[in-house]
Structure 1
Amino acid sequence: MKRISMILYPCFDSKSGKKVCTMTVLRDISFLWSMFHIIVFFLLLFEPSFPWPVTLTAGFAGAGVLLVVNVMTMFWQGSGIIMRAAFFTCTIPTLLLFFWLSKYRDGRFFFLFCLSDTLCFWILQITNFLDRMAGDTYLVMLITRLIAFPMVELLFWRYLRQPYLQLQRRLTQGWWLFAVIGATYYLLIMVTSVPVGRPMPGPEGLIRIVLVLILMPLTYLTVLRSLWRQMTEAQAQGELELLETRNRLAWENLRILQESSSALAQARHDILGNLGILQTLSQRGDYKRLDEYLSRLTRQTGEIVPLKISNHPIINAILTRGIERARSAEVELRLHIDLPDSLPFPDEDLSAFLMNLLDNALDAASLIPPGQPKWVEITMHIRGSYLFIEGQNTFAHIPEPDKEGGRFRSHKGAGHGYGLKIMENIARRYQSELQAEAGDGVFVARTALLMPKQL
């Protein structure tokens, strides 16, 4: 009966058999409020691998079950048990649940998990101390938690969410070390915490707790600043490489323009003479020589590199360069391009993907011995909300997938073979995958990049 009374009345004293307090209901409400907002904190910066309706349903359903278990444990064993058992009754189960739901199953996930949990426990300790200073009535605890959690979430939403999501998407390395730092602070704040109802420690213990509470936000701010600096430096390096690529393409296209203009000028100069010769051959009825002469003129005209293939300037520059490379390697380049003047992708991603796709295909086709089919086919068009890109080419050596990720390996030796990896990373950045397959002497690589405005 006493245990049943403790469950029904959290203020029930099992020794005296009487209700000793009516204010603990405020403590319990503040606890439930805090448990709910731990999930909210996490989801603010979380990127799921499933659609958001599925993620929210699974997340809050799992959190609801854990909440019931923890509330029952608290009523059965007392409120002090929560801070001691939270690692096993809250942390581990939620970690496993959201790890399954997460898009990033690496250091990015564990750092975010430690960040959200540690921040919530930091708020719990601050509000706990404020309540003790006000007389241990639980009223200050409830009021401050009702205000603190939504206020911090609003700050996260307005100032941190978008930069942090951008940080997760663009920076893939360096997270594990910071995740270990976050886990250390999480365990430290758990060990030094003073559960509700426990007596406060002496001056030395109190100083240790205060120092941990001060160092925790400073450490996380330093970590986030360091990660942001890494990302901005990587972006600056990418912009520099893009600028160099643009300059190289500009010079190559200027040279191609000059050669094409010269060839066209020569063709215009010769056109009257050519027409006269064709007319004479036709009048004589020498159709064999007429056909040979027409074939030669057609071949010479086809060798003039077109100045405009696509309305998109970057794509046009890359493909113009590819046409000249294909002509030099005696590779037939087939282009099926139907694109608008602009695309909602950063130029560095678009140029990196297309240049690697085209260069890999031309490299493979150029190694084919003379007399065998040597061709490359590039297809690009808009399909709904996606940019469809496909490259096909003949090859001399059958590509072999590596043992780790199944990615096809390069036959060019050390220092090569990064093209497909770069293309895979770009495809995943836009909610897609790079499909690569080889068969019947033809290698195919394709993807469909989701337009950023649809993300």
Structure 2
Amino acid sequence: MAVTVIGLIRFGLSLVFGITVSVLFAGIELTKKNRLVTSVLWVIFLIVQTASWWLLGLELTSKLYPLIIHLPLIVIFSLYFKRPWAISAVSVLSGYLCCQAPHWFGSLAGSTLSSRLAEHIFYIASVSLAYYFLKRYVAGSIRQLMEKSTKSCLFLGGVPLFYYMFDYATIIYTDVLYRGTKWAVHFMPSTVSIFYFVFVIFYYAETQKQNVLQREKDMLDAQFRMAQTEFASLRQLQHNAASYRHDMRHHFALLQGLASKEHMEGIKEYLRTAQADMDAITPIRFCENETVNLILSAFATKAKQWEIMLTIDAKLPDSLPFSDTELCSLLSNALENAIQATKNINDENKRNILLRMYSKNHKLCIDIRNRYQTEPIFHQGLPISKKQGHGFGTKSMAHIVEKHGGVFQFTLKDGWFVFQATA
């Protein structure tokens, strides 16, 4: 009698365990309402299972399990809990797979002690331990892997699916496994080994991908720090210009001294030197925004050094929705790339860069276009460089624009390389 009662408890607990683990794997939020719904599902499926067992017998009930338990669970997860079909199916299959370890421990105990009662008791104890372990250490990882991509979800469901098919084909619908048929005995070890090596391949590829992304992140961080340093240098130039203007009284005093001695050549030489010094440290004023003025002034000087005609049309207010370092990184990368592409043109008359910036509806609009000697290569909408360690500037530009909810594009048009952005 005790064995029968414990057996019935085990029979019901197995169902409750499978449903609960499937809910955990499916990523169903355990709100008060969902806990209540899960409890109702326990009761309904226990009634269905018990009724089928009572009317049809244990053997036929086991064969009908996919139709009366598993398939309805997948449908409920998908339609009621709004989980994707793939995640719902893999969750139920994984829940079924998780029932096998407690079953094995129970069978091992029963065989060792030659007791059916011991088998049931060890199964119940194993189920409790398995649920604790799965909830605390496994369920979160399973959910993240399944939600990462459909490909990841399907790959994760491969072993549970093959085991499910194998179990029903060789144990429940037939007794091929118990007869010791060679192909059946070797099927699951072969399947597990295949998935192991496929997992190694996918894991290695994913690791390499993460390493590349980390290197790109490090390069972008380095570029951003470089932009901060460059902007600090521009600030220092502005400070020097302010100091120079402040010291103008000293220059006038010196000029007055030279004039009193009628030293005209000395005056002319001093004025040429002072003018050169002022030009070197005084930013040209292109617009109302001080930061943009500093950056454009620096690149106007650089373009002049390379005999490049840089035409600037900037109509910007004093305030923009970008930090100083973001503006510096965005404009510096764009103009540096334009200068690098333009300076290699043999015909000096074609060394042209056009820059237009304006504000519209509180958004920054940029149009930078330059001539080029060698046609750029594009990958996924971004120009790329074949040189080692290059090509991160455009990614940094794209990142800054997207960070502010903007859009951008790199195009080739009538012999011009064009960068346009609105953010």
Aligned match of 1:140: 118
- Aligned counterpart in structure 2 of residue 251 of structure 1, from 211, 218, 226: 226
Aligned match of 1:119: 98
- Aligned counterpart in structure 1 of residue 38 of structure 2, from 56, 59, 68: 59
- Secondary structure at the aligned position of 2:314 is classed as coil
User: Match for 2:294: what amino acid?
Assistant: I
Cα deviation for residue 54 of structure 1 reads 3.6
More helix by share: 2
Note closer, same or farther for the CA distance 1:297–1:209 as it changes in structure 2 (3 Å cut).
closer
Aligned match of 1:10: none
Q: Does 1:204 align with 2:180?
A: yes
Cα deviation for residue 117 of structure 1 reads 1.8
CA distance in 1, matches of 2:78, 2:381: 34
Note closer, same or farther for the CA distance 1:102–1:268 as it changes in structure 2 (3 Å cut).
farther
Aligned match of 1:415: 380
Aligned match of 2:13: 33
Counterpart mapping for 1:48-87 below 5 A: 48=28, 52-87=31-66
Q: Does 1:182 align with 2:160?
A: yes
Q: Does 1:304 align with 2:283?
A: no
Q: Does 1:330 align with 2:314?
A: yes
User: Match for 1:248: what amino acid?
Assistant: Q
Cα deviation for residue 235 of structure 1 reads 2.9
Aligned 8 A contact 2:320 2:364 in 1: no
Counterpart mapping for 1:95-174 below 5 A: 95-100=74-79, 105=84, 107-121=86-100, 123-124=102-103, 127-128=106-107, 131=110, 138-168=116-146, 173-174=151-152
30-39 vs 61-70, greater mean Cα deviation: 61-70
- Secondary structure at the aligned position of 2:165 is classed as helix
Note closer, same or farther for the CA distance 1:159–1:257 as it changes in structure 2 (3 Å cut).
same
CA distance in 2, matches of 1:89, 1:141: 26
- Aligned counterpart in structure 1 of residue 237 of structure 2, from 255, 262, 284: 262
Aligned 8 A contact 2:22 2:91 in 1: yes
Aligned 8 A contact 1:114 1:182 in 2: yes
Aligned 8 A contact 1:332 1:375 in 2: no
Q: Deviations over 1:136-187 (max 9, x none)?
A: x641331121122222233334443444445445566443344345322211
Aligned 8 A contact 1:39 1:63 in 2: yes
Note closer, same or farther for the CA distance 1:181–1:102 as it changes in structure 2 (3 Å cut).
farther
User: Match for 2:230: what amino acid?
Assistant: R
Aligned match of 1:374: 359
Cα deviation for residue 239 of structure 1 reads 1.3
Look at both structures and tell me which one has the larger radius of gyration over its CA atoms. 2
Aligned 8 A contact 2:105 2:123 in 1: no
Cα deviation for residue 190 of structure 1 reads 2.0
Note closer, same or farther for the CA distance 1:227–1:201 as it changes in structure 2 (3 Å cut).
closer
Aligned 8 A contact 2:63 2:172 in 1: no
Aligned 8 A contact 2:359 2:365 in 1: yes
Counterpart mapping for 1:226-305 below 5 A: 229-273=204-248, 299=288, 301=290, 303-304=293-294
Aligned match of 1:400: none
CA distance in 1, matches of 2:95, 2:294: 61
Note closer, same or farther for the CA distance 1:213–1:150 as it changes in structure 2 (3 Å cut).
farther
Counterpart mapping for 1:372-411 below 5 A: 374-375=359-360, 377=362, 392=363
Cα deviation for residue 335 of structure 1 reads 4.2
CA distance in 1, matches of 2:26, 2:13: 20
Note closer, same or farther for the CA distance 1:297–1:107 as it changes in structure 2 (3 Å cut).
closer
Aligned 8 A contact 2:19 2:42 in 1: yes
CA distance in 1, matches of 2:43, 2:193: 32
Aligned match of 1:94: 73
TM-score (norm 2): 0.56
Cα deviation for residue 64 of structure 1 reads 2.9
Note closer, same or farther for the CA distance 1:263–1:372 as it changes in structure 2 (3 Å cut).
closer
Aligned 8 A contact 1:170 1:231 in 2: no
User: Match for 2:117: what amino acid?
Assistant: L
- Secondary structure at the aligned position of 1:60 is classed as helix
Note closer, same or farther for the CA distance 1:89–1:186 as it changes in structure 2 (3 Å cut).
same
Q: In structure 1, list runs of 5 or more residues that go unmatched.
A: 1-20, 278-294, 306-326, 339-353, 363-368, 378-391, 397-412, 428-433, 438-442, 446-455
Cα deviation for residue 84 of structure 1 reads 0.7
Aligned 8 A contact 1:376 1:394 in 2: no
- Secondary structure at the aligned position of 2:130 is classed as helix
User: Match for 1:374: what amino acid?
Assistant: S
CA distance in 1, matches of 2:6, 2:137: 32
Aligned 8 A contact 2:163 2:188 in 1: no
- Secondary structure at the aligned position of 2:27 is classed as coil
Q: In structure 2, list runs of 5 or more residues that go unmatched.
A: 253-283, 296-310, 335-353, 368-377, 383-394, 408-420
Cα deviation for residue 38 of structure 1 reads 0.9
- Secondary structure at the aligned position of 1:264 is classed as helix
